[in-house]
Amino acid sequence: MNSGLSTAVALKRRPLTWHRLQRLVAPYVFVSPGVVFYLMVTIIPMVWGFWISFHKWSIIWPAHPWVGLGNYTALLSEDLFWISLRNTAVYTAGVVPVEVAFALMVALLLNTKMRARGFFRLLYYLPVVTPLSISAVIWQWIYHPHVGLLNWVMRVLHLPTHDWLQEIGTAMLAVIIVAIWSGVGYRMVIFLAALQGIPQTYYEAAMIDGAGGFALFRHITLPLLKPATLFVLVTSIISSFQVFSIVNVLTQGGPLDSTHVVVYYIYKRAFGDLQFGLAAAMSFVLFAIILVVTAIQWKLIGREVSYE
């Protein structure tokens, strides 16, 4: 701390040479493209969106009258917004725990010295890089009530068949399954990288002390995976709250709004009904919810663990 201060004071006292100017300016020049880009695509639109949320705003109408909190209070009577919020919560509760647990399990398996490990890693990662439009076609066939694979399996097992994407009781489940299938691979890679970062010496020392497989997992693997788990959990919950594409291609929110999620509703209100002010207000309510949920997660499992 002291040495840093003295260097700063020394730098201040020295005359401004070209070399010194370069050292002072260069870091800012290097970061500026990233900062400008981030400002342009994130910060400025965010501030602008917040501004829009206080106006009656139809994108092509030149006048944008100020309505104060009007859009936020209007949300209270938007039944479909609350239905969408509830559906989004159901979707998140269905996707995140299963996805994270499954990704961890697969990562643990693929971290062992098994045969064809590379092939299995590729297999689990493949859904991540498969375009959603192609995935949607595959899953629409799997879910097809007459010729679909899923109903064929149900018939073989003498279980009742369903019109998975068209029944109120099954549509959300069908969407959740596709989301888990397409999201596991990415989370698996994060866990795999974290697992490979755990020093082998911890396991060796614990084994000398007589620790078994489950004890190793519980007392070494799991605690040391906490930073990765936190990252995976936070990003999974955020992306679940922001789900759009899967719903858009598979169900368009139906049947009877049973898969209507918040971002899909925001999109429809903005680009379908030209209610950009209201849509912006919804976005900020969603932002506040995500912020609170993330803060809670951070508080609960945010402390890092190190055995150094």
Cα–Cα distance for residue pair 261/250, rounded to 1 Å? 13
* Interface with another protein (CB under 8 A), residue from 145, 223, 227, 302: 145
Query: 249-253, long-range: CB within 8 Å, 24+ apart, which pairs?
Result: 249/132, 249/133, 249/136, 250/136, 250/139, 250/140, 250/165, 250/174, 250/175, 250/178, 251/165, 251/171, 251/174, 251/175
By C-beta, is 206 or 249 nearer to another protein? 249
298 touches another protein by CB under 8 A: no
Stretch that binds another protein, among 36-44, 145-153, 219-227, 286-294 (CB under 8 A): 145-153
167 touches another protein by CB under 8 A: yes
What is the pattern of x (binds another protein, CB under 8 A) and - over residues 254-273?
xxxx-------------xxx
26 touches another protein by CB under 8 A: no
Cis peptide leading into 255, omega within 30 of 0?
Answer: yes
Phi and psi at residue 60, to the nearest 5°: -95, -5
Q: Tokens 């994270």 map to which residue?
A: 100
Positions in 63-122 near another protein (CB under 8 A): 63, 65
By C-beta, is 37 or 271 nearer to another protein? 271
159 touches another protein by CB under 8 A: no
Q: Tokens 């912006």 map to which residue?
A: 280
62 touches another protein by CB under 8 A: yes
117-129 helix and 171-196 helix, angle to the nearest 10 degrees:
130
149 touches another protein by CB under 8 A: no
Stretch that binds another protein, among 10-18, 27-35, 114-122, 138-146 (CB under 8 A): 138-146
Nearest in space to 304 (alpha carbons), one of 196, 225, 227: 227
Residue 215: CB atoms within 10 A of its CB come to 13
Cα–Cα distance for residue pair 155/151, rounded to 1 Å? 6
By C-beta, is 61 or 217 nearer to another protein? 61
By C-beta, is 211 or 257 nearer to another protein? 257
By C-beta, is 238 or 274 nearer to another protein? 274
61 touches another protein by CB under 8 A: yes
* Interface with another protein (CB under 8 A), residue from 98, 230, 274, 285: 274
Q: Cβ 156 to another protein, closest distance in Å?
A: 14
CA dist list (Å): 144 to 44, 91, 171, 266: 44, 21, 12, 29
Contact in structure between 160 and 79 (CB atoms under 8 Å): no
In the complex, the residues that contact another protein under the rule CB under 8 A are 56, 58-63, 65, 144-147, 163, 166-168, 248, 254-257, 271-275
